[in-house]
Structures are given as structure tokens and as C-alpha cells.
Structure 1
């Protein structure tokens, strides 16, 4: 169980950091929020993968396809976050 939690955190950090590198612009979020971004992106990527391929990740948690799906999901979540954040900011 502890290994699963550590794996989720590490994959979340990697996926979130890569998403922040790819998405243009400045994101004012902390390391903790980067990890959360990657974890949420992992769920989004897994859901999209299930919708597209109609398969679950039965082969285990730590797979390259899971990392790629997490990265794609994190990019999607970060793009939505930056667009929503831009619309909520106060313009002077």
C-alpha cells in the first residue's frame, strides 16, 4: 500500500512537471500543486484512455502507457486551469 502511494506521488510529480514545461505561459503553483496536477491528470488520462480503447490497466500501475496518459491528462487539466484562471483574474 505504501509503495502504491509513493508511486502515485512520483508519477504525479513527473507528469505535472512535464505538463508545466510543455504548456506555455507562467503557472504560479507550488510543488504540491504540481503533484496534485499530475495525479488529477492521471485520472483524466486514464478515463480518456478507457473511453478511447475500452480497456482497463489490468497489467499493473507503473506502465509507460500510464505515464504517457498521466502526462496527456495533466496537460489537459493545466490548460483548463490556466484558461479558467485567466477569466477569473481582475483586469485593471
Structure 2
């Protein structure tokens, strides 16, 4: 993978992760790098899912693939935010 491909994946991951965070209600106390990581993973998994279901080759914007990616990112953000909030409940500062 070239440097351009890595930078593109990070930018797409940030956008997908941010869209996933917007879908999840409430405040998520997770850092931006974790949002980006979740977004990159969701983008990759959403593409694989779209390929498996045969909806990856459409004209123009692949709305179904984008929907898969955002939904997967929202699920990932909700899971990570939920795990993080459970860990911090018992902490005293």
C-alpha cells in the first residue's frame, strides 16, 4: 500500500468514524484516534460486506456500501464507548 493509500484510508476512516459518532446518541468519551481506528475498520468491513452481498458495483456513489460502513462505525463507537464508560464507573479521582 502506498503512502497515498494510507493517507486516504485515514481520511476516509476519520469521516466514517465521525459519521458513526453522529449516529450514536449521547456523548462518547473516546479519543479521536480511536474514532479514526473504528472508522477505518468499519470502512474495510463495510466494503467486504458490500462485496459479499454484490452491491459494490453501482454507478456513482455506492450508497449501500456507505450505509454499511456508517452503521458498522456506529456499532463500533457504541461498543467502545460503552466499554469505556463501564470501566470508569468504579474509578475515584
Say yes or no: TM over 0.5: yes
Partners of 2:79 and 2:49 in 1: CA distance: 15
TM-score when scaled to structure 1?
A: 0.68
Aligned to 1:80: 79
Partners of 1:75 and 1:47 in 2: CA distance: 17
Structure 1 residues 80-89 or 23-32, which shifts more? 80-89
Structure 2 residue 22 is matched with structure 1 residue 21: yes
Partners of 1:49 and 1:3 in 2: CA distance: 24
Aligned to 1:40: 41
What root-mean-square deviation, in Å, do the aligned CA atoms of Structure 1 and Structure 2 show?
2.7
Provide structure 2 residue ranges, at least 5 long, that are not aligned to the other structure: none
Instruction: Report which of the two structures shows the higher radius of gyration computed on alpha carbons.
Output: 2
Provide structure 1 residue ranges, at least 5 long, that are not aligned to the other structure: none
- Tell me how far 1:28 sits from its aligned partner: 0.7
Count of residue pairs brought into register by the alignment: 87
